[in-house]
Structure 1
Amino acid sequence: MLGAVNAIFDEASKANVNTEVEFAVLQAVTPHVVMKLDLDPTPLESGEEDELEFPTSLTLTEADVGKRYALIRCANAKYLVLCEVR
């Protein structure tokens, strides 16, 4: 059992090798969510290419435009929006 748990954690840690936390400002929520990364001039969109992924518990509204969010860049070149930051 312990060997199986260790194998799961080993595989999970391999996926985290190319991850990086970044910060972005929410620029729009309709028709697609658009976020501008602090260190990249090209905004990310949740459109056809699905550059952004969201937790099911995160709801973005027009009132959130202009707020900063923490994102993690994943090994599959997508970004997972984690939470609002101050």
Structure 2
Amino acid sequence: MGLFGLGVPEIAVIAGVAVLIFGPSKLPELGRELGKSVKSFQTAAKEFESELKSGAEDAEEEGKKMVDSVKESVDEKLK
């Protein structure tokens, strides 16, 4: 199993077609741009994940405060 579920023959064919379409002089530039795009996507995904975790932690904390508030109200009414 290779990259994205593609085997070595499939990757070789794709690379050959890319050389034919773009030419060997343009491929390094395209590779760099693709690498930058993948890196920025990974960075955005990590930021998104950290925001989700932060939001979940904030929501959990807020929920605990609400539960404590309800418990205090119930305790006061029971006295």
TM-score bucket of the superposed structures, by smaller chain: under 0.3
TM-score by length of 2: 0.25
Task: Work out which of the two has the higher radius of gyration on C-alpha atoms and give 1 or 2.
Answer: 2
Q: Which structure carries more helix by proportion?
A: 2
Larger % of strand: which?
1
TM (normalized to structure 1)?
A: 0.23
